């Protein structure tokens, strides 16, 4: 599917700037509005300028990483996906995601080369990436990944298989690789399903952009080989219906209707999507266990919280069931911000990866 004209239509459909930001369409809106001679809000203009600086820094940061680290380096998401957009500046990103064979060694090498680590390393124990790194005064983070991000209910993918199938990065830095577009599309979809399944327009656009650079049959074959076919088929059916004018899929009608109006999900819709995602990804005999695990994860307090805080969060979610998700998240501030990243318990104890 080609994205020419699609992003413009989505920008026109979105009800307000908040929805455009939620769906990662605000930079596209800035480009289009400037072309129309419209004056940009000050905050949007600042975001567009910061995004332009980040885009200019990508090659510099990747060259620093390449010179500091031994072994193959795969860049994922972000700037790599942006290169597949009709207008790369439409795709916002705040970090560079790297997959390497020796994550801890690469982290040490990057620090020795001048990158600065921030965050408590203990808080990232068991996460898919190590603590973020920054080059001094550069507004662009680097995250060294132990493995790609994906929902706990999907069979994990072998990183070694990704390295074997890697191709030169579209960013154009010598020695920097990326997953082949078909595999990258699957990884981007799985990353989205681990956070907001079928939730954000920009994440679905990423998949569509990568598919436009490859043979869809190749992606379908990889999804089957990885055991991700049900998730993948649901994802592309929504893309085909939402962007391609094909008949609406059941998932789009039942738990992704917010995409039709490019609006934010409501709090209730968000919780429904988290329970629906494993149901649409797994055979019927396996889905109940994944749903139960998702419920336990949602209901239990985080490691840096107690039950009283979690109960307050739950009560507020019930009261705000029909509010946009960002409004609810803003209201959570009075309970107190989390001091560490929410740990994906669902990713602990991963089984050995399936080969590509």
Distance of CA 120 to the CA centre of its chain: 22
3-state secondary structure of 342: coil
Phi first, then psi: what are they for 133, rounded to 5°? -120, 150
Nearest C-alpha neighbor of 202 from the set 35, 82, 345: 82
Average pLDDT for runs of 10 along the chain of length 356: 88 96 97 96 97 96 96 96 95 97 97 94 88 95 94 91 95 96 97 95 97 94 96 97 93 96 92 93 90 79 68 77 79 58 41 37
State the Cα–Cα distance between residues 174 and 80, nearest whole angstrom: 14
For the chain, what's the residue count? 356
- Residues 6+ positions from 215 with CB-CB distance below 8 Å: 182
Q: State residue 335's pLDDT score.
A: 63
8 A C-beta contact, residue 213 and residue 177: no
Which DSSP letter does residue 247 get?
P
8 A C-beta contact, residue 176 and residue 79: no
Q: Which residues share a beta bridge with 141?
A: 95, 134
The H or E element spanning position 74 is strand 73-76
3-state secondary structure of 100: strand
Structure tokens at 244: 């391609």
3-state secondary structure of 56: helix
State the Cα–Cα distance between residues 355 and 226, nearest whole angstrom: 7
CA terminus-to-terminus distance, the chain:
25
State the Cα–Cα distance between residues 42 and 329, nearest whole angstrom: 23
Concatenated DSSP letters of 276-333: HHHHHHS-TTTHHHHHHHHHHHHHSPPTT--HHHHHHHHHHHHHTTTSBHHHHHHHGG
CA torsion, points 155, 159, 160, 162, in degrees to nearest 10? 100
Q: Which residues share a beta bridge with 129?
A: 145
Q: Which residues share a beta bridge with 177?
A: 74, 168
CA torsion, points 200, 203, 208, 213, in degrees to nearest 10? 170
Exposed, middle or buried: residue 78 (CB in 10 Å: 0-12, 13-18, 19+)?
buried
Q: State residue 59's pLDDT score.
A: 96
Exposed, middle or buried: residue 335 (CB in 10 Å: 0-12, 13-18, 19+)?
middle
Nearest C-alpha neighbor of 356 from the set 210, 198, 224: 224
3-state secondary structure of 182: helix
Distance of CA 214 to the CA centre of its chain: 20
């Amino acid at each position: 599917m080609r994205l020419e004209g699609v992003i413009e239509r989505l920008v026109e459909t979105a009800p307000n700037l908040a929805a455009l930001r939620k769906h990662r369409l605000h930079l596209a809106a800035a480009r289009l509005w400037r072309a129309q001679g419209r004056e940009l809000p000050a905050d949007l203009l600042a975001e567009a300028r910061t995004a332009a600086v980040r885009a200019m820094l990508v090659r510099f940061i990747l060259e620093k990483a390449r010179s500091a680290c031994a072994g193959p380096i795969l860049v994922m998401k972000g700037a790599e996906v942006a290169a597949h957009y009709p207008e790369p500046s439409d795709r916002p990103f705040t970090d560079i995601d790297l997959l390497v064979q020796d994550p801890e060694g690469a982290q040490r090498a990057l620090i020795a080369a001048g990158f600065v680590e921030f965050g408590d390393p203990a808080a990232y124990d068991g996460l898919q990436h190590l603590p973020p790194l920054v080059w001094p005064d550069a507004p662009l983070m680097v995250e060294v990944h132990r493995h790609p991000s994906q929902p706990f209910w999907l069979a994990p993918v072998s990183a070694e298989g990704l390295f074997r199938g890697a191709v030169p990065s579209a960013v154009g830095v010598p020695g920097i690789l990326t997953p082949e577009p078909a595999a990258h599309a699957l990884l981007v979809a799985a990353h989205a399903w681990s956070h907001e399944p079928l939730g954000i327009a920009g994440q679905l656009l990423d998949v569509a952009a990568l598919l436009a650079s490859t043979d869809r049959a190749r992606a379908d074959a990889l999804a089957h080989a990885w055991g991700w076919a049900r998730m993948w088929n649901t994802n592309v059916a929504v893309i085909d219906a939402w962007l391609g004018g094909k008949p609406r899929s059941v998932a789009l009608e039942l738990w992704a209707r917010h995409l039709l109006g490019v609006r934010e999900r409501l709090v209730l819709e968000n919780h429904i999507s988290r329970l629906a995602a494993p149901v649409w990804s797994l055979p019927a005999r396996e889905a109940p266990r994944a749903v139960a695990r998702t419920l336990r994860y949602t209901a239990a307090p985080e490691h840096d919280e107690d039950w009283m805080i979690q109960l307050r969060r739950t009560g507020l979610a019930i009261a705000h069931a029909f509010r946009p998700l960002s409004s609810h998240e803003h209201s959570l501030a009075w309970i107190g911000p989390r001091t560490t990243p929410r740990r994906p318990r669902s990713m602990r104890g991963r089984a050995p990866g399936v080969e590509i």
